[in-house]
Amino acid sequence: AFRWIRLAARTPVLRTFAAAALAPRYQELRTEALGLRMHGPFGLAAGFDKNAVAIDGMAMLGFDHIEIGTVTGEPQPGNPKKRLFRLVADRALINRMGFNNEGSAAVAARLAARNPVFRTTVGVNIGKTKVVPEAEAAADYVKSTEALAAHADYLVVNVSSPNTPGLRNLQATESLRPLLTAVREAADRTVTTRRVPLLVKIAPDLADEDVDAVADLAVELGLDGIIATNTT
């Protein structure tokens, strides 16, 4: 299905047909969020298009915003296969992907070279490279920010995947505050013509008091939103 979506986006006849048949635009659905104007409220979460290769294909199908990634500072293969399992009876998936992606430099180059066929909002979700120690996480996120911020309508700091060892430790406010501050400063330093909205993505397994602490921190730092939630 993923390959067919990419093919359709590159084929003029299929692109025209699909855009007309599958992606009608209704004025009453137009949405404004994060200071961005979108065709509607329906978006594609990070995890499907990890390397920014199917943006036009997904926009063609009617998604009003598309979040690519998760992208890490360095390329990495992710966890060994098999790593994605469908539970038909439970109507669920088991996700053990592990941030497989081509890395921030490669994804940034692809976004820079993109000639959009369909106008859509593109968010970029960034995470920690697996081999980077927790103490050096901020520098890794900054590397991704410096590469990708200019190509992002909004940025998401992912500190909540269960498939990268130690990543969720970064949700503790004493770790999260300097990390988010560093990313915000890097985005502002990299993109001087506009303010790139910044969000943080949290886990569904946080205790209520930890959710409150992250929310308070988001307000304190002037974040633009919280994405809830990641894989349990």
Q: Where are the domains of the chain?
A: 2-228
160 as an active site residue: the answer is: no
| Residue 69: pLDDT band with limits 50, 70, 90 | very high
Question: Are the beta carbons of 196 and 165 closer than 8 angstroms?
Answer: no
Residue type, 164: T
Compute the mean pLDDT over every residue in the chain, rounded to the nearest whole number.
92
pLDDT score for 13? 78
Q: How far apart are CA 181 and CA 198, in angstroms?
A: 11
For residue 77, pLDDT over 60 is answered with yes
Least confident of 100-104, 161-165, 168-172: 161-165
Question: Are the beta carbons of 29 and 23 closer than 8 angstroms?
Answer: no
For 171-208, the DSSP string reads GSHHHHHHHHHHHHHHHHHH--SSPPPEEEEE-TT--H
Tell me the sheet residues that pair with 66.
44, 122
Predicted structure pTM score: 0.92
| Residue 145: pLDDT band with limits 50, 70, 90 | very high
More confident residue, 4 or 152: 152
pLDDT score for 187? 98
- Indicate the CATH number for domain 2-228: 3.20.20.70
User: Which one of 144, 160, 161, 175 is the catalytic residue?
Assistant: 161
